[in-house]
Chain A
Amino acid sequence: MSGQHHGAPEPYPAIRARAIESLLVEKGLFTGDAIDAKVQAYESDIGPMNGAKIVARAWVDSGYRERLLTDGREAIAEIGFADAQGAELVVHENTREVHNVVVCTLCSCYPWAVLGLPPTWYKSFAYRSRVVIEPRKVLKEFGLELDDSVEVRVWDSNSDIRYMILPERPDGTESMSENELAELVSRDSMIGVAKVKLPAQVG
Protein backbone atom coordinates (compact mmCIF):
# COMPACT_ATOMS: atom_id res chain seq x y z
CA MET A 1 0.00 0.00 0.00
CA SER A 2 1.27 3.44 -0.74
CA GLY A 3 1.40 6.11 1.91
CA GLN A 4 -1.14 8.83 2.45
CA HIS A 5 -0.98 11.99 0.37
CA HIS A 6 -0.35 15.33 1.99
CA GLY A 7 -3.40 17.03 3.39
CA ALA A 8 -5.80 15.78 6.03
CA PRO A 9 -4.15 13.46 8.56
CA GLU A 10 -4.93 9.79 8.07
CA PRO A 11 -7.74 8.58 10.35
CA TYR A 12 -6.72 6.42 13.30
CA PRO A 13 -8.09 3.07 11.99
CA ALA A 14 -6.14 3.51 8.75
CA ILE A 15 -2.90 4.15 10.66
CA ARG A 16 -3.56 1.33 13.08
CA ALA A 17 -4.30 -1.09 10.23
CA ARG A 18 -1.03 -0.14 8.53
CA ALA A 19 0.85 -0.65 11.79
CA ILE A 20 -0.65 -4.12 12.18
CA GLU A 21 -0.04 -5.10 8.57
CA SER A 22 3.53 -3.87 8.81
CA LEU A 23 4.25 -5.91 11.96
CA LEU A 24 2.64 -9.06 10.62
CA VAL A 25 4.50 -8.82 7.32
CA GLU A 26 7.78 -8.21 9.17
CA LYS A 27 7.09 -11.28 11.29
CA GLY A 28 6.49 -13.27 8.14
CA LEU A 29 2.86 -14.20 8.83
CA PHE A 30 1.89 -13.20 5.32
CA THR A 31 3.17 -11.11 2.44
CA GLY A 32 1.68 -7.95 1.05
CA ASP A 33 0.88 -9.90 -2.11
CA ALA A 34 -1.27 -12.37 -0.19
CA ILE A 35 -3.33 -9.57 1.31
CA ASP A 36 -3.61 -7.81 -2.06
CA ALA A 37 -4.92 -11.01 -3.61
CA LYS A 38 -7.62 -11.38 -0.98
CA VAL A 39 -8.74 -7.77 -1.28
CA GLN A 40 -8.86 -8.21 -5.04
CA ALA A 41 -10.99 -11.33 -4.66
CA TYR A 42 -13.44 -9.56 -2.34
CA GLU A 43 -13.71 -6.63 -4.69
CA SER A 44 -13.85 -8.42 -8.02
CA ASP A 45 -14.31 -12.19 -7.90
CA ILE A 46 -17.07 -12.72 -5.39
CA GLY A 47 -20.23 -10.73 -5.61
CA PRO A 48 -23.92 -10.80 -6.42
CA MET A 49 -23.21 -11.46 -10.10
CA ASN A 50 -22.56 -15.05 -9.04
CA GLY A 51 -25.91 -15.37 -7.30
CA ALA A 52 -27.61 -13.75 -10.28
CA LYS A 53 -26.30 -16.51 -12.57
CA ILE A 54 -27.71 -19.11 -10.20
CA VAL A 55 -31.11 -17.40 -10.12
CA ALA A 56 -31.24 -17.08 -13.90
CA ARG A 57 -30.37 -20.75 -14.30
CA ALA A 58 -33.13 -21.72 -11.86
CA TRP A 59 -35.62 -19.60 -13.80
CA VAL A 60 -34.89 -21.26 -17.12
CA ASP A 61 -34.23 -24.80 -15.93
CA SER A 62 -36.88 -26.29 -13.64
CA GLY A 63 -34.72 -29.33 -12.88
CA TYR A 64 -31.97 -27.01 -11.67
CA ARG A 65 -34.49 -25.01 -9.67
CA GLU A 66 -35.58 -28.19 -7.87
CA ARG A 67 -31.99 -29.16 -7.10
CA LEU A 68 -31.22 -25.64 -5.89
CA LEU A 69 -34.16 -25.65 -3.49
CA THR A 70 -33.32 -29.17 -2.27
CA ASP A 71 -29.56 -28.84 -1.78
CA GLY A 72 -28.17 -25.38 -2.38
CA ARG A 73 -24.55 -26.26 -1.80
CA GLU A 74 -24.58 -29.07 -4.37
CA ALA A 75 -26.49 -26.97 -6.87
CA ILE A 76 -24.13 -23.99 -6.73
CA ALA A 77 -21.13 -26.31 -7.01
CA GLU A 78 -22.71 -27.66 -10.19
CA ILE A 79 -22.18 -24.32 -11.91
CA GLY A 80 -18.78 -23.67 -10.44
CA PHE A 81 -19.38 -21.90 -7.13
CA ALA A 82 -18.33 -23.25 -3.79
CA ASP A 83 -18.60 -21.77 -0.36
CA ALA A 84 -15.13 -21.24 1.04
CA GLN A 85 -16.59 -21.47 4.53
CA GLY A 86 -17.88 -24.94 3.74
CA ALA A 87 -21.24 -23.74 4.92
CA GLU A 88 -24.56 -25.25 3.97
CA LEU A 89 -26.49 -23.08 1.57
CA VAL A 90 -30.25 -23.15 1.85
CA VAL A 91 -32.26 -21.42 -0.85
CA HIS A 92 -35.83 -20.25 -0.27
CA GLU A 93 -38.13 -19.25 -3.06
CA ASN A 94 -40.19 -16.08 -3.05
CA THR A 95 -43.64 -16.41 -4.56
CA ARG A 96 -46.85 -14.41 -4.69
CA GLU A 97 -47.94 -16.03 -1.43
CA VAL A 98 -44.69 -16.26 0.54
CA HIS A 99 -41.96 -13.66 0.91
CA ASN A 100 -38.64 -14.67 2.52
CA VAL A 101 -36.03 -12.26 3.84
CA VAL A 102 -32.64 -12.95 5.45
CA VAL A 103 -30.85 -11.31 8.38
CA CYS A 104 -28.12 -12.07 10.89
CA THR A 105 -29.16 -10.32 14.09
CA LEU A 106 -26.04 -11.29 16.05
CA CYS A 107 -23.41 -10.54 13.47
CA SER A 108 -23.19 -10.42 9.68
CA CYS A 109 -23.60 -13.99 8.38
CA TYR A 110 -24.23 -13.82 4.67
CA PRO A 111 -23.83 -16.22 1.73
CA TRP A 112 -20.54 -14.80 0.41
CA ALA A 113 -20.03 -17.60 -2.08
CA VAL A 114 -23.00 -16.38 -4.05
CA LEU A 115 -23.48 -12.75 -3.00
CA GLY A 116 -20.01 -11.52 -2.01
CA LEU A 117 -19.52 -9.40 1.09
CA PRO A 118 -22.65 -7.91 2.64
CA PRO A 119 -23.64 -4.28 2.07
CA THR A 120 -23.41 -1.84 4.99
CA TRP A 121 -27.17 -1.75 5.56
CA TYR A 122 -27.22 -5.54 6.07
CA LYS A 123 -24.70 -5.13 8.91
CA SER A 124 -26.41 -2.04 10.33
CA PHE A 125 -27.92 -1.96 13.80
CA ALA A 126 -31.19 -0.72 12.31
CA TYR A 127 -31.61 -3.70 9.96
CA ARG A 128 -30.38 -6.29 12.46
CA SER A 129 -32.65 -5.05 15.24
CA ARG A 130 -35.78 -4.28 13.25
CA VAL A 131 -36.33 -6.79 10.47
CA VAL A 132 -37.16 -9.57 12.94
CA ILE A 133 -39.83 -7.54 14.76
CA GLU A 134 -41.28 -5.36 11.99
CA PRO A 135 -40.31 -6.91 8.66
CA ARG A 136 -43.12 -5.27 6.70
CA LYS A 137 -42.13 -1.81 7.88
CA VAL A 138 -38.49 -2.49 7.06
CA LEU A 139 -39.32 -3.85 3.61
CA LYS A 140 -41.38 -0.73 2.98
CA GLU A 141 -38.25 1.34 3.59
CA PHE A 142 -36.67 -0.64 0.75
CA GLY A 143 -39.65 0.27 -1.41
CA LEU A 144 -41.31 -3.11 -1.13
CA GLU A 145 -44.88 -3.06 0.08
CA LEU A 146 -46.43 -6.47 0.67
CA ASP A 147 -50.09 -7.23 0.92
CA ASP A 148 -51.27 -8.57 4.30
CA SER A 149 -52.16 -11.84 2.59
CA VAL A 150 -48.48 -12.49 1.82
CA GLU A 151 -46.78 -14.59 4.48
CA VAL A 152 -43.50 -12.98 5.53
CA ARG A 153 -40.79 -15.41 6.61
CA VAL A 154 -37.70 -13.94 8.22
CA TRP A 155 -34.59 -16.15 8.42
CA ASP A 156 -32.18 -15.20 11.19
CA SER A 157 -28.85 -16.81 10.16
CA ASN A 158 -27.36 -17.79 13.48
CA SER A 159 -25.75 -21.14 12.62
CA ASP A 160 -23.32 -22.23 9.91
CA ILE A 161 -26.18 -22.47 7.44
CA ARG A 162 -26.34 -19.62 4.92
CA TYR A 163 -29.52 -18.47 3.25
CA MET A 164 -30.14 -17.10 -0.21
CA ILE A 165 -33.47 -16.13 -1.73
CA LEU A 166 -34.61 -17.23 -5.15
CA PRO A 167 -36.68 -14.22 -6.22
CA GLU A 168 -39.82 -14.48 -8.29
CA ARG A 169 -39.27 -14.22 -12.04
CA PRO A 170 -41.00 -11.08 -13.29
CA ASP A 171 -43.72 -11.26 -15.92
CA GLY A 172 -42.71 -10.17 -19.39
CA THR A 173 -39.35 -11.96 -19.32
CA GLU A 174 -40.46 -15.08 -21.20
CA SER A 175 -38.37 -14.30 -24.28
CA MET A 176 -35.21 -13.33 -22.40
CA SER A 177 -32.06 -15.46 -22.46
CA GLU A 178 -30.41 -16.81 -19.32
CA ASN A 179 -27.69 -14.14 -19.56
CA GLU A 180 -30.22 -11.37 -20.01
CA LEU A 181 -32.15 -12.64 -17.02
CA ALA A 182 -29.00 -12.71 -14.87
CA GLU A 183 -28.51 -9.01 -15.66
CA LEU A 184 -31.90 -8.25 -14.09
CA VAL A 185 -31.27 -9.97 -10.77
CA SER A 186 -30.29 -7.54 -8.03
CA ARG A 187 -28.37 -8.31 -4.87
CA ASP A 188 -31.25 -7.05 -2.77
CA SER A 189 -33.69 -9.46 -4.41
CA MET A 190 -31.49 -12.37 -3.32
CA ILE A 191 -31.48 -11.13 0.30
CA GLY A 192 -35.23 -10.72 0.09
CA VAL A 193 -35.62 -6.96 0.50
CA ALA A 194 -36.61 -6.34 -3.11
CA LYS A 195 -38.32 -7.95 -6.06
CA VAL A 196 -36.70 -8.34 -9.45
CA LYS A 197 -37.95 -5.65 -11.80
CA LEU A 198 -37.84 -5.22 -15.53
CA PRO A 199 -35.61 -2.34 -16.69
CA ALA A 200 -38.70 -0.22 -17.45
CA GLN A 201 -39.88 -0.69 -13.86
CA VAL A 202 -36.56 0.26 -12.31
CA GLY A 203 -36.28 3.73 -10.93
Chain B
Amino acid sequence: MNGIHDMGGMHGFGPIELEENEPVFHEPWEGRVRAMRSTLPEVSSPYGGRFLIESIPPDLYLKSSYFERWLLAFEDALLRKGVVTAEELDEKTRFYRENPEAEVPRKGAAELAKSAVETLYTIRPTIEHDGSGIVPRFGVGDSVKVGNINISGHTRLPRYVRGKVGTVAKVYNAQGIQDHVPKSEQGPQPVYSVRFDGRELWGDEAESNHLLYMDMWESYLEPDQNTSGGSDQ
Protein backbone atom coordinates (compact mmCIF):
# COMPACT_ATOMS: atom_id res chain seq x y z
CA MET B 1 0.00 0.00 0.00
CA ASN B 2 1.12 3.53 -0.66
CA GLY B 3 1.23 4.14 3.08
CA ILE B 4 3.08 6.37 5.47
CA HIS B 5 5.44 3.49 6.29
CA ASP B 6 6.90 3.72 2.77
CA MET B 7 9.21 6.57 3.69
CA GLY B 8 12.37 5.96 1.68
CA GLY B 9 13.52 9.29 0.23
CA MET B 10 11.13 11.49 2.20
CA HIS B 11 12.35 14.77 3.62
CA GLY B 12 11.50 16.41 6.90
CA PHE B 13 12.18 13.82 9.60
CA GLY B 14 15.19 15.67 10.97
CA PRO B 15 18.53 14.41 12.23
CA ILE B 16 19.17 10.83 13.37
CA GLU B 17 18.82 10.70 17.14
CA LEU B 18 21.41 8.44 18.72
CA GLU B 19 21.30 6.93 22.19
CA GLU B 20 24.47 5.64 23.83
CA ASN B 21 24.25 2.20 25.46
CA GLU B 22 20.63 1.82 24.54
CA PRO B 23 18.76 -0.97 26.36
CA VAL B 24 17.03 -3.62 24.24
CA PHE B 25 13.70 -2.45 25.68
CA HIS B 26 13.12 0.94 27.28
CA GLU B 27 10.04 -0.19 29.20
CA PRO B 28 9.14 -3.72 30.31
CA TRP B 29 5.86 -3.66 28.35
CA GLU B 30 7.81 -3.32 25.10
CA GLY B 31 9.49 -6.66 25.70
CA ARG B 32 6.17 -8.29 26.67
CA VAL B 33 4.51 -7.05 23.47
CA ARG B 34 7.49 -8.08 21.34
CA ALA B 35 7.46 -11.55 22.89
CA MET B 36 3.69 -12.04 22.78
CA ARG B 37 3.40 -11.05 19.16
CA SER B 38 6.24 -13.29 18.06
CA THR B 39 4.83 -16.17 20.12
CA LEU B 40 1.57 -15.99 18.17
CA PRO B 41 2.54 -15.15 14.57
CA GLU B 42 -0.60 -16.90 13.29
CA VAL B 43 -2.76 -14.30 14.90
CA SER B 44 -1.85 -11.82 12.15
CA SER B 45 -2.84 -14.08 9.25
CA PRO B 46 -4.09 -13.74 6.63
CA TYR B 47 -3.08 -10.06 6.54
CA GLY B 48 0.44 -10.37 7.88
CA GLY B 49 1.84 -8.51 10.85
CA ARG B 50 3.50 -5.89 8.73
CA PHE B 51 0.31 -5.02 6.85
CA LEU B 52 -1.45 -4.48 10.16
CA ILE B 53 1.26 -2.00 11.15
CA GLU B 54 1.08 -0.31 7.75
CA SER B 55 -2.69 -0.03 8.18
CA ILE B 56 -2.42 2.11 11.30
CA PRO B 57 -3.84 5.53 10.32
CA PRO B 58 -0.95 7.76 9.18
CA ASP B 59 -1.29 10.35 11.94
CA LEU B 60 -1.32 7.65 14.62
CA TYR B 61 1.56 5.79 12.93
CA LEU B 62 3.70 8.91 13.02
CA LYS B 63 3.04 9.79 16.63
CA SER B 64 3.44 6.25 17.98
CA SER B 65 6.71 4.70 19.04
CA TYR B 66 7.93 1.53 17.35
CA PHE B 67 6.58 -0.75 20.06
CA GLU B 68 3.37 1.25 20.32
CA ARG B 69 2.84 0.38 16.67
CA TRP B 70 3.49 -3.27 17.50
CA LEU B 71 0.93 -3.05 20.28
CA LEU B 72 -1.67 -1.43 18.02
CA ALA B 73 -1.15 -4.05 15.32
CA PHE B 74 -1.24 -6.92 17.81
CA GLU B 75 -4.45 -5.65 19.34
CA ASP B 76 -5.95 -5.22 15.87
CA ALA B 77 -4.99 -8.80 14.97
CA LEU B 78 -6.46 -10.26 18.16
CA LEU B 79 -9.72 -8.41 17.60
CA ARG B 80 -9.97 -9.28 13.89
CA LYS B 81 -9.32 -12.94 14.71
CA GLY B 82 -11.81 -12.93 17.55
CA VAL B 83 -9.20 -14.21 20.01
CA VAL B 84 -10.33 -11.43 22.33
CA THR B 85 -13.34 -9.15 22.09
CA ALA B 86 -13.24 -5.38 22.34
CA GLU B 87 -15.41 -5.59 25.47
CA GLU B 88 -13.07 -8.04 27.20
CA LEU B 89 -10.07 -5.94 26.35
CA ASP B 90 -11.62 -2.68 27.54
CA GLU B 91 -12.84 -4.29 30.74
CA LYS B 92 -9.40 -5.73 31.47
CA THR B 93 -7.75 -2.41 30.66
CA ARG B 94 -10.07 -0.66 33.10
CA PHE B 95 -9.23 -3.30 35.72
CA TYR B 96 -5.48 -2.71 35.49
CA ARG B 97 -5.93 1.04 35.43
CA GLU B 98 -7.97 0.86 38.63
CA ASN B 99 -5.76 -1.82 40.19
CA PRO B 100 -2.20 -0.88 39.33
CA GLU B 101 -0.87 -3.36 41.90
CA ALA B 102 -2.70 -6.32 40.38
CA GLU B 103 -0.49 -9.08 38.99
CA VAL B 104 -0.86 -10.55 35.52
CA PRO B 105 -1.76 -14.24 35.83
CA ARG B 106 1.01 -16.71 35.00
CA LYS B 107 -1.09 -19.67 33.83
CA GLY B 108 -4.53 -20.12 32.34
CA ALA B 109 -7.12 -22.83 32.12
CA ALA B 110 -6.29 -25.75 29.83
CA GLU B 111 -9.84 -26.18 28.54
CA LEU B 112 -9.90 -22.56 27.41
CA ALA B 113 -6.58 -23.03 25.63
CA LYS B 114 -8.05 -25.56 23.24
CA SER B 115 -10.80 -23.28 21.96
CA ALA B 116 -8.51 -20.26 21.83
CA VAL B 117 -5.95 -22.10 19.75
CA GLU B 118 -8.67 -23.33 17.40
CA THR B 119 -9.79 -19.75 16.90
CA LEU B 120 -6.27 -18.86 15.99
CA TYR B 121 -5.75 -21.48 13.36
CA THR B 122 -9.06 -21.40 11.52
CA ILE B 123 -8.07 -18.83 8.90
CA ARG B 124 -4.51 -19.97 8.41
CA PRO B 125 -3.48 -19.45 4.80
CA THR B 126 -2.35 -22.48 2.86
CA ILE B 127 0.00 -21.38 0.12
CA GLU B 128 2.39 -23.94 -1.24
CA HIS B 129 5.95 -22.66 -1.48
CA ASP B 130 7.82 -25.02 -3.71
CA GLY B 131 10.39 -22.98 -5.61
CA SER B 132 11.93 -25.95 -7.39
CA GLY B 133 12.06 -25.89 -11.16
CA ILE B 134 11.62 -22.14 -11.42
CA VAL B 135 13.83 -20.65 -14.12
CA PRO B 136 14.80 -17.00 -13.57
CA ARG B 137 13.76 -14.69 -16.38
CA PHE B 138 16.67 -12.28 -15.85
CA GLY B 139 20.39 -12.80 -15.43
CA VAL B 140 23.21 -10.85 -13.78
CA GLY B 141 23.96 -7.70 -15.75
CA ASP B 142 20.49 -7.40 -17.31
CA SER B 143 19.02 -3.95 -17.40
CA VAL B 144 15.56 -4.02 -15.82
CA LYS B 145 12.78 -1.52 -15.29
CA VAL B 146 10.70 -1.62 -12.14
CA GLY B 147 6.96 -1.77 -12.76
CA ASN B 148 4.68 1.05 -11.72
CA ILE B 149 2.77 -1.20 -9.34
CA ASN B 150 0.36 0.31 -6.81
CA ILE B 151 -1.10 -2.49 -4.72
CA SER B 152 -3.50 -1.30 -2.01
CA GLY B 153 -2.54 -4.26 0.18
CA HIS B 154 0.90 -5.23 1.45
CA THR B 155 3.81 -4.92 -0.93
CA ARG B 156 7.58 -5.02 -0.61
CA LEU B 157 8.05 -2.63 -3.49
CA PRO B 158 8.75 0.87 -2.16
CA ARG B 159 7.55 3.84 -4.16
CA TYR B 160 10.97 5.37 -4.65
CA VAL B 161 12.12 2.69 -7.09
CA ARG B 162 8.94 2.28 -9.12
CA GLY B 163 9.47 3.07 -12.79
CA LYS B 164 13.25 3.25 -12.30
CA VAL B 165 15.86 1.38 -14.30
CA GLY B 166 18.47 -0.77 -12.58
CA THR B 167 20.81 -3.66 -13.20
CA VAL B 168 20.50 -7.20 -11.90
CA ALA B 169 23.43 -7.71 -9.53
CA LYS B 170 22.57 -11.15 -8.21
CA VAL B 171 19.96 -13.85 -8.67
CA TYR B 172 18.68 -15.39 -5.45
CA ASN B 173 16.69 -18.53 -4.88
CA ALA B 174 12.95 -18.25 -5.24
CA GLN B 175 11.01 -16.74 -2.34
CA GLY B 176 7.27 -16.68 -1.83
CA ILE B 177 5.83 -13.33 -2.83
CA GLN B 178 4.69 -11.49 0.29
CA ASP B 179 2.51 -8.99 -1.52
CA HIS B 180 -1.26 -9.12 -1.37
CA VAL B 181 -1.74 -10.34 -4.93
CA PRO B 182 -4.54 -12.53 -6.34
CA LYS B 183 -4.29 -16.19 -5.43
CA SER B 184 -3.24 -17.13 -8.97
CA GLU B 185 -0.16 -14.89 -8.63
CA GLN B 186 0.89 -16.14 -5.20
CA GLY B 187 3.74 -18.53 -4.62
CA PRO B 188 7.49 -18.50 -5.11
CA GLN B 189 9.32 -16.33 -7.64
CA PRO B 190 12.98 -15.70 -8.34
CA VAL B 191 14.29 -12.77 -6.33
CA TYR B 192 16.97 -10.47 -7.68
CA SER B 193 19.29 -7.99 -6.10
CA VAL B 194 18.91 -4.95 -8.34
CA ARG B 195 21.42 -2.11 -8.34
CA PHE B 196 20.30 1.47 -8.96
CA ASP B 197 22.51 4.45 -9.52
CA GLY B 198 21.81 7.28 -7.09
CA ARG B 199 21.19 9.63 -10.03
CA GLU B 200 18.55 7.32 -11.50
CA LEU B 201 16.63 7.53 -8.22
CA TRP B 202 17.28 11.10 -7.15
CA GLY B 203 18.36 13.00 -10.23
CA ASP B 204 20.68 15.95 -9.83
CA GLU B 205 20.13 15.95 -6.07
CA ALA B 206 21.85 12.58 -5.73
CA GLU B 207 25.06 12.39 -3.75
CA SER B 208 28.20 11.40 -5.63
CA ASN B 209 29.25 7.81 -6.04
CA HIS B 210 26.10 6.32 -4.51
CA LEU B 211 24.45 3.03 -5.39
CA LEU B 212 21.31 1.53 -3.95
CA TYR B 213 20.54 -2.17 -3.93
CA MET B 214 17.09 -3.61 -3.43
CA ASP B 215 15.66 -7.10 -3.60
CA MET B 216 13.05 -7.53 -6.30
CA TRP B 217 10.59 -10.34 -6.82
CA GLU B 218 10.49 -11.16 -10.51
CA SER B 219 6.96 -9.83 -11.03
CA TYR B 220 8.16 -6.35 -10.03
CA LEU B 221 10.44 -6.22 -13.05
CA GLU B 222 10.21 -5.89 -16.79
CA PRO B 223 13.04 -5.85 -19.33
CA ASP B 224 14.35 -2.35 -19.93
CA GLN B 225 13.34 -1.59 -23.53
CA ASN B 226 15.94 1.14 -23.93
CA THR B 227 18.94 -1.10 -23.61
CA SER B 228 19.90 -4.05 -25.72
CA GLY B 229 21.60 -7.25 -24.71
CA GLY B 230 19.18 -8.43 -22.03
CA SER B 231 18.89 -12.18 -21.74
CA ASP B 232 15.13 -11.96 -22.12
CA GLN B 233 15.20 -11.29 -25.85
**A interface residues (Cβ-Cβ under 8 A, vs B):** 1-4, 6, 9-11, 13-35, 38-39, 42-43, 47, 88, 103, 105-108, 116-117, 119-121, 123-130, 132-138, 141-142, 148-161
A38 in contact with B84 (CB, 8 Å): no
Whole-angstrom distance between the Cβ of A111 and the nearest chain B Cβ = 14
Q: Which of B85-93, B133-141, B222-230 contacts A (4 or more CB under 8 A)?
A: B85-93
Whole-angstrom distance between the Cβ of A137 and the nearest chain B Cβ = 7
B107 in contact with A27 (CB, 8 Å): no
B7 in contact with A105 (CB, 8 Å): yes
B212 in contact with A132 (CB, 8 Å): yes
Number of A-B contacts (CB under 8 A): 272
Whole-angstrom distance between the Cβ of A113 and the nearest chain B Cβ = 14
B116 in contact with A22 (CB, 8 Å): no
In this assembly, does B207 line the interface, its C-beta being within 8 Å of a C-beta of chain A? yes
Chain B: how many interface residues by the 8 Å CB criterion?
Answer: 95
Q: Please judge, given known A-B contacts A14-B27, A106-B156, A157-B215, whether A120 and B104 are in contact too, CB under 8 Å.
A: no
Instruction: Name A133's contact: one of B66, B74, B106, B202 (CB within 8 Å).
Output: B202
A135 to B209, CA, bound (A): 10
A38 to B15, CA, bound (A): 33
A114 to B32, CA, bound (A): 22
B7 in contact with A129 (CB, 8 Å): yes
A-side contacts of B208, CB under 8 Å: 136, 148
Instruction: Name B107's contact: one of A13, A25, A117 (CB within 8 Å).
Output: A25
B-side contacts of A15, CB under 8 Å: 93, 96-97
CB-CB nearest in chain B for A16 = B93
A35 in contact with B36 (CB, 8 Å): yes
Whole-angstrom distance between the Cβ of A39 and the nearest chain B Cβ = 4
A30 to B116, CA, bound (A): 11
B-side contacts of A4, CB under 8 Å: 100-101
A-side contacts of B207, CB under 8 Å: 134-137, 152
Mask: chain B, 35-71; 1 = CB below 8 Å from A; 0 = not: 1101110000000001001100000001000111001
B-side contacts of A6, CB under 8 Å: 100
Mask: chain B, 10-38; 1 = CB below 8 Å from A; 0 = not: 11111111110011111111011111101
Q: Please judge, given known A-B contacts A13-B68, A130-B13, whether A117 and B24 are in contact too, CB under 8 Å.
A: yes
Instruction: Name B104's contact: one of A1, A123, A126, A129 (CB within 8 Å).
Output: A1
Q: Please judge, given known A-B contacts A34-B39, A39-B35, whether A26 and B16 are in contact too, CB under 8 Å.
A: no
Instruction: Name B16's contact: one of A25, A124, A152 (CB within 8 Å).
Output: A124
Whole-angstrom distance between the Cβ of B73 and the nearest chain A Cβ = 11
| Beyond A34-B35, A42-B24, A153-B212, 11 additional pairs, beta carbon < 8 A | A15-B96, A17-B36, A20-B36, A21-B32, A22-B96, A23-B92, A28-B113, A124-B16, A132-B212, A133-B160, A159-B191
Query: Would you list which residues of chain B between 114 and 132 have a CB under 8 Å from chain A?
Result: 114, 116-117, 120
B96 in contact with A32 (CB, 8 Å): no
B6 in contact with A105 (CB, 8 Å): yes
A29 to B205, CA, bound (A): 52
B-side contacts of A39, CB under 8 Å: 25, 31-32, 34-35
A152 to B173, CA, bound (A): 26
Whole-angstrom distance between the Cβ of A102 and the nearest chain B Cβ = 10
In this assembly, does B182 line the interface, its C-beta being within 8 Å of a C-beta of chain A? no
A28 to B83, CA, bound (A): 11
Whole-angstrom distance between the Cβ of A159 and the nearest chain B Cβ = 4
Can you list 21 A-B pairs with a CB-CB distance of less than 8 A?
A: A9-B100, A15-B96, A20-B89, A22-B104, A24-B40, A24-B108, A25-B107, A27-B84, A29-B40, A31-B108, A32-B105, A32-B106, A35-B36, A103-B8, A106-B5, A120-B26, A121-B17, A132-B9, A152-B209, A158-B156, A159-B191
Q: Please judge, given known A-B contacts A26-B105, A30-B40, A106-B5, whether A20 and B209 are in contact too, CB under 8 Å.
A: no
A129 in contact with B13 (CB, 8 Å): yes
Query: Would you list which residues of chain B between 185 and 212 have a CB under 8 Å from chain A?
Result: 191, 193, 201-202, 205-212
Mask: chain B, 172-184; 1 = CB below 8 Å from A; 0 = not: 1101001000000
Q: Please judge, given known A-B contacts A32-B104, A38-B39, whether A26 and B112 are in contact too, CB under 8 Å.
A: yes
